[in-house]
Amino acid sequence: MKKFTLVLCFTLLFLSWQSPAQMAHSEEIKKILSEKIDSILKETGIPSISISLIKGDSIIWSEAFGYTNVKKKIPATSATIYSTGSNFKFVTATAVMQLAEAGKLKLDDPINRYLGSSAIDDFSSDGNPVTFRHLLSHHSGLKGPIEIVPLWERRVPRSLDSIAPQITAEEQPGTKFKYCNHCYAMVGLAIERISNQSFEEYIVDKILEPLDIDSKGPIAPTPKMVEELALPYVLENKKAVPEHQSRFDVFPAGDIYLSGPEMAKFLIAQLNGGEYKRKSILKKSSIVQMQEPQFGSNYGLGARVFKKGDKTYLYHTGQVPGFSTYFEIETSSRTGVYLASNAGGVQDILSEIAEVSLKMLIEL
């Protein structure tokens, strides 16, 4: 589907409302979005889309459309679990900010100070080491490999500490934005070394549980979670074709499994000074830092940032084989949307749904 066609369809529906009172009606928003998502699934062959809308400190609507298993026609629900893809970088960055608040690191500390024997090859000898801030904002100047292992090959991906020796410095840190998944792998390794917990244990204990998220296996899904997992697909001639289930060695960069409402809870904390239902995962000052563009780019600490007039938007896409995700939030109105699909390569469609959803939400 062409981008301008989808945006035009949404825009015409949005403008067809007859009064501000009607535009403010959340049930009308749900109806419009439901109809359009159903239409998109039929037109594109996307197997399923999950959507969660945020207003203030609440999820005002969560729904899923289509199938988690196309052959068996198993319906997707709001409890369906998808790979988060790179949207989880925002969560990994939050873990770093928590450790900074606890005085266990500083954002501008060299990462090698915490990696021990797994130190990376950077420009430390020139007095310009790679820091947490460089890594979280994709300004490290580092280059490294990424390994994707199909699940049923029964091969174990490389460990985080075995990735470090293969990372090299291409340019001085802080000079250029270059998207870097292996950088977040090193951040995950540092989190483990500093906290004396596995990355998964830390994320569950310090972030997911305070957000009332029950998942104990976001990296290694539990048997209970597997029952809710969407199967991955790739689109070929508007038909969903089964895709390999895969594992990534750089898992802190986004090889994580959660439902749409679970990720939406995390975004609520980002919109409410670090709090969800009066539980705080970060101080407001740390949230402000995360949402500020770094090194003159349009990327903060874990998410992209852009300003339009007096409004600040944060967004991110995610993609791993067979899954696509997208979120967008607006800070002043405290509105947001999170979308997930079990089709790879459809981030543009998700972003278009998010854009119009957010426009309607801001009017509520």
* CA–CA gap between residue 40 and residue 235 (Å, rounded): 13
Band of residue 12 on the pLDDT scale cut at 50, 70, 90: very low
φ, ψ of residue 5 to 5 degrees: the values are -65, -45
User: Which DSSP category does 175 fall into?
Assistant: S
335, β-bridge pairs: 55, 330
pLDDT band at 26 (very low <50, low <70, confident <90, very high): confident
With a CB cutoff of 8 Å and minimum separation 6, the contacts of 113 are none
> Is 341:47 a contact under the CB 8 Å cutoff?
yes
For residue 299, the SS3 value is strand
241: helix, coil or strand?
A: strand
Please tell me the distance from the alpha carbon of residue 133 to that of residue 83, in angstroms, as a whole number.
26
At 253, the amino acid letter reads A
Rg (CA), the chain: 20
What pLDDT was estimated at residue 25?
67
Kindly state the helix (H) or strand (E) to which residue 62 belongs, with its residue range.
Answer: strand 58-69
Average of per-residue pLDDT values in the chain: 93
In this predicted model, what pLDDT tens digit does every residue of 122-143 receive, in sequence order?
998 889 999 999 999 999 999 9
Supply the pLDDT for residue 363.
85
Distance CA 291, CA 302 (A): 8
Element holding 247 (H helix, E strand) = strand 246-248
Burial class (CB in 10 A: 0-12, 13-18, 19+), 105: buried
Task: Measure the CA angle with vertex 150, ends 147 and 152; round to 5°.
Answer: 145
Token pair for 268: 């609520």
Asked if residue 72 lies in contact with residue 48, where contact means CB atoms within 8 angstroms, the answer is: no
Residues 37-61, mean pLDDT to the nearest whole number: 97
| Amino acid, res. 347 | Q
What is the mean pLDDT of the segment spanning 37-65? 97
pLDDT at res. 9? 53
Mean pLDDT of 287-305: 98
pLDDT score at 364: 80
φ, ψ (nearest 5 deg) of residue 297: -95, -170
Read off the amino acid at residue 121: D
- Residue 209: partners with Cβ closer than 8 Å, 6 or more residues away: none
Once rounded to an integer, what is the mean pLDDT over residues 109-132?
A: 94
Query: Which tokens is 187 given?
Result: 């951040």
* pLDDT tens, residue by residue, 184-213: 999 999 999 999 999 999 999 999 999 999
Residue 283 has pLDDT above 80, yes or no: yes
Task: Please tell me the distance from the alpha carbon of residue 221 to that of residue 231, in angstroms, as a whole number.
Answer: 13
Q: What is the mean pLDDT of residues 230-248?
A: 97
Measured CA to CA, the distance from residue 330 to residue 8 in angstroms comes to: 22
Percent of the chain with pLDDT over 90: 90
What's phi and psi for 40, nearest 5 deg? -65, -40
